[in-house]
């Protein structure tokens, strides 16, 4: 089966659940193409109407037949502003929007800022949830 997708979304759902100490019943994913509604032009390419411009992928963590974690990833040529948005349903409810987060740059930044924590970590297979919170300074 040929498909383009982001690799790691289900793993990210599992990591969030682990950090929260939640036991999920299952993890599900959906993926759909993003289709150009009109001609899309960029500095590098153009995409005709009806052609694929990217993907819309959602990862769900399910517990007791309820979706308790949802990660919604939208990547396309015409996606517009880059942002991370977080909703936490609780008391109090939290809604946070962080603008201008570029995935590759933020990945490189967290990797570079994690070096000391990784070097100080015990041997073995670890995840980000096993390391102290990363801070600059």
* Burial of 61 (C-beta count, 10 Å sphere; 0-12/13-18/19+): buried
Task: Break the chain into its structural domains and give their ranges.
Answer: 9-80
Q: 10-33: buried (b, 16+ CB within 10 Å) or exposed (e) per residue?
A: bebbbebbeeeeeebeebeeeeee
pTM of the model: 0.82
Give residue 137's pLDDT: 61
Q: Do you find a cis peptide bond into 92, omega within 30 degrees of 0?
A: yes
> Is the pLDDT score of 1 beyond 70?
no
pLDDT in tens, 4-44: 778 899 999 999 999 999 999 999 999 999 999 999 999 99
- Whether the CB-CB separation of 34 and 55 falls below 8 Å is answered with yes
Q: What is the CA radius of gyration of the chain?
A: 18
The span from the CA of 100 to the CA of 27, in Å, is 28
The pair of three-digit structure tokens given for residue 111, joined into one six-digit string: 């990797």
> Is the pLDDT score of 61 beyond 90?
yes
Give residue 38's pLDDT: 95
Question: Per-residue confidence at 102, pLDDT binned at 50, 70, 90?
Answer: confident
Q: How far, in Å, are 19, 70, 131 from residue 117 at the CA level? A: 17, 28, 7
Percent residues over pLDDT 70 in the chain: 96
Most trustworthy range by pLDDT among 5-14, 65-74, 126-135: 65-74
């Amino acid at each position: 089966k040929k498909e383009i997708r982001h690799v790691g979304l289900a793993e990210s759902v599992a990591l969030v659940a682990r950090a929260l100490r939640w036991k999920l019943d299952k993890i599900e994913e959906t993926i759909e193409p993003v289709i150009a509604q009109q001609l899309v032009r960029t500095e590098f390419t153009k995409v005709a109407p009806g052609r694929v411009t990217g993907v819309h992928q959602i990862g769900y963590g399910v517990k007791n037949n309820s979706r308790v974690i949802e990660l919604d990833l939208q990547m396309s040529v015409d996606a517009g502003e880059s942002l991370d948005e977080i909703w936490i349903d609780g008391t109090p409810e939290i809604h946070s929007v962080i603008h201008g987060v570029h995935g590759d740059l933020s990945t490189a930044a967290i990797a570079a800022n994690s070096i000391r924590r990784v070097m100080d970590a015990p041997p073995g297979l670890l995840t980000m949830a096993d390391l102290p919170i990363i801070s600059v300074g």
